[in-house]
Amino acid sequence: MIVDAHHHLWDLSVRDQDWITDPPMGVIRRSFLEPDFVAVASEVSASVLVQTVCVPEETPEFLAVAASSDVVGAVVGWVDLTSAGVGDALTALVDSPDGSWLRGIRHQVQGEPDPEWLCRKDVWNGLAAVGAHGLVYELLTLPHQMPAARRTVAALPQVGFVVDHCSKPAIGTDPGEWAASIRSLAAHENVTCKLSGLVTEADWESWSVADLRPYFEVVLDAFGPGRLMFGSDWPVCLLAATYDEWLDAARELVSELSPDEQAAIFSGTARRVYGL
């Protein structure tokens, strides 16, 4: 069975997702709840539910979902890394009734105008607090923010980092600069990477596995199967592919690997990183 290391849920009757614009993102401008995920992810035995908006209320809601779900096995939430009270906020989450499901923290760094945001002293203090609470930190970065990410993971070797969506390479362009940055991140053993989000960085209407393969080969070579994990990025992936279409594409990408290597990407790495 598969571990899906990256998916989302949201209920628009509870909170707007103002990053979903219509058009061109109208296909996902509706609520997506846990039963909807279970219905499309029939081969998934465990999953990681990842934050979508930078508000503190979402994380306890997701922890409650995990506590009541037979599939969601871990939550990546949000706290304000720049706050002087970040340690107290993390302690409150971990010690809450459903806090055992919290395994990581993420912030939408991709939306920060400062490409050096990750290198701020207050952010580093916040990231150190994340690690001290036994949590990983997920790097949601764009290629131009990767140099700051590299300096950050080097400065905080005690923190486990996970690169979301292969740091969003522009599919169809020369991967050279992005590839160099990915390799520099992968040189640090405290970093793993999600094989996710590639289809939405390609042409939504006409992508192919061949389009994705050069970027997959870079992350595979850089991280190896033992530090690479499958994620659907559902329902965001629906902009370019159904759940099964992306799963089939990922299977084709890894088809030449050994059974043990495929098992690491589709289950083992995520189980280790998120304690599933």
Burial 58-71 (b: 16+ CB within 10 A, else e): bbbbbbebbeebeb
Q: How far apart are CA 244 and CA 4, in angstroms?
A: 12
On the question of pLDDT at 56 being above 90, the answer is yes
**What are the two backbone dihedrals, phi and then psi, of residue 253, each rounded to the nearest 5 degrees?**
-60, -35
- Band of pLDDT at residue 22, cut at 50, 70 and 90: confident
Under DSSP, the state recorded for 164 is G
Q: What domain count does the chain have?
A: 1
On the question of pLDDT at 23 being above 90, the answer is no
In this predicted structure, what is the pLDDT of residue 1? 86
What integer is the mean pLDDT of 103-116?
Answer: 96
Burial of 165: CB neighbours in 10 Å, binned 0-12, 13-18, 19+: buried
Rounded to the nearest 5 percent, the helix, strand and coil shares of the chain are 45, 15, 35
Task: Decide if 37 contacts 10 (C-beta within 8 A).
Answer: no
User: Beta partners for 76?
Assistant: 50, 104
In this predicted structure, what is the pLDDT of residue 40? 97
In this predicted structure, what is the pLDDT of residue 24? 87
CATH of the domain at 186: 3.20.20.140
Residue 254 belongs to domain spanning: 2-274
